[in-house]
Chains A and B, each alone.
Chain A
């Protein structure tokens, strides 16, 4: 059974549930990454619940706005809403009787909307640092969007559908297609850039630009943006597992256990890949990142070309 059998209200509820799960777990993920970083730094590190406390503290502070512009008020809201909704579209059960899930194109649009609102927030803040940060964010988006979309499309072309449930279903049924493997490689290489962690946290580079697009935010606006940033590792790793490696979830015999195992795997992947790479590298310059992103995009394009041209 696929998500098509779920009515629109049920699908909406499942999506909302997914959003809440991501919102609730994102600070925990951040806390664990910080703990790992601390361990590599030979220190104790803050408790893993620290990000929750940070957000709570920010929420009760004054939201000092540098301009009355409505863009500045809406920017952080749209950023968080778009990220959470995109995350909610990723199925926790890609197949089976509870399957629900969104559309790859809608997902990509929501991410673009999220990045767009970051850029607008940076520009509306009018500080020299936030403007440079916004311009860097634009460059980063232009560099990773193609890879993300292409790698998803490769699976879509093979599966004949854009829905996440169908992509997962294709993977489970068909096994390993070469083009999909290459697309998966491109996605993994792009992961660190997508989650915007070192060496690719270039837009927000603290020691170069204070806070990048978020420099002038404070209080609740800042809390919303921080939470949105915390969701990135969760969302992109979850997407990777559910679309490219759905066998993990499918292998779990009990339906209620599937999302737990999948999320545990997401946490592990983030710690071992995102966290370790984040701790052991300096930040790259934006032009150096462009070179890297271009190379990864070439891999994605190759996968796409093969998928489009090869008979299936």
Chain B
């Protein structure tokens, strides 16, 4: 009995102190951590793949008028799954290593809005190809100055045939 307790005590003391005085000491997340998503608005083409893929359904696509599309993200619902970053055809979204996103300023602090000038693909209207049929894009679309980049769905199909 005493021997068992001594073995246990040894196990405990060998480890030393393992706790950190966070938040008085910083604690950084490792490489590859899925933290707060960051959107590079310049790259966004308004295709809506992120909105279709997001499990928390926090991304809303609002067409302000024929030329302008607003992408509204309510990050208070974000579960940091990283699907938006994964499906974005332009790699415009990156999962940063930021995790300290608590705020006392109000909900708007976690509301992210970006506006994109939309153009019409001359072949098919607005369209974009998802990676697998299970990631169907609900709100297809393409940005005005990037019609040549990416790929119109019809054009791709024709190229295959």
Contact = CB atoms under 8 A, between A and B. Distances in A.
Contacts of A41: 12
B5 interface: yes
A40 interface: yes
B64 interface: no
B27 interface: no
Contact of B17 (A39, A276, A280, A281): A39
A interface, size bucket: under 10
B159 interface: no
B interface, size bucket: 10 to 19
B133 interface: no
Contacts of B8: 280
Helix, strand, loop or mixed for chain B's interface? loop
A40 B13 contact: yes
A44 B16 CA distance: 10
A42 B15 CA distance: 6
Contacts of A43: 17-19
A272 to B, nearest CB: 12
Interface string B12-40: 11011111010000000000000000000
Interface in A221-279: 276
B12 A40 contact: yes
A44 B19 CA distance: 6
Contact of B12 (A42, A44, A281): A42
Contacts of A42: 12, 15-19
A273 to B, nearest CB: 13
Contacts of A280: 5, 8-9
Nearest to B8: A280
Interface string A172-207: 000000000000000000000000000000000000
Interface string A281-298: 100000000000000000
B100 to A, nearest CB: 21
Contacts of B18: 42-43
A280 B4 CA distance: 10
Nearest to B12: A40
Nearest to B20: A44
A39 B13 CA distance: 7
A280 B13 CA distance: 12
A281 B12 CA distance: 13
Interface of A: 39-44, 276, 280-281
The 9 closest A-B pairs by CB, nearest first: A43-B19, A42-B15, A40-B12, A42-B18, A44-B19, A280-B5, A280-B8, A44-B17, A42-B17
